[in-house]
Amino acid sequence: MGEDRRGGLLVEGQGVGRHPPRRPRLRRQRRRHRAHPLQRLVIPFACSTKSLGESRLALVTTGGVHPPGQPRFDIDDPAGDCSYREIPTSARELTWTHAYHRPDEGSDLDSVFPLWTLRELASEGLIGGLNPRHFSFMGAIHDTQPLSERTAPEVAARLVEDGADAVLLTPS
């Protein structure tokens, strides 16, 4: 055993021998978009006055979920697709546009967008009911400015208009 440069003892395997060379870091020449760290956003929080059993619940996901008849999300947009899709509570068939979706492998859509599970909870009376419509965004949004300035406020206004008491956010 030896000593390191700070004077502490080294145990076997620490600092002894050759280390693999560090891989060079890849750096972009310039950013394609302006970064908007989410840590700087002020997130409003309000306590509910209703119990969950009395509340109308809406789903909002970043899983890229949509009915098959609606346009797919643009997964090739380098800034990210900031649009959203409305999903009616009565929807029986859904699909998703996302990199991890593999229809040939039987991906579980209910784990990303638990509409069927929430329908069961509503029928059992564990939640007051479901909002008539739910919303889906694409997860990989690198330029969040259009999202925070336009589309997110639109969705929030529609949820207020519908009388949603609570929103279950399901990330992708």
> Model-level pTM?
0.70
Label residues 126-160 b or e (16+ Cβ within 10 Å = b).
ebbbbbebbbbbbbbbebbeebeeebbeebeebbe
Angle at 127 between CA 121 and CA 130, to 5 degrees: 85
Q: Kindly report, residue by residue over 17-60, the tens digit of the pLDDT.
A: 555 555 555 555 555 555 555 555 566 667 778 899 999 999 99
> Structural domain boundaries of the chain?
54-170
- Report the candidate in 162, 123, 126, 163 with the shortest Cα–Cα distance to residue 52: 126
Residue type, 112: V
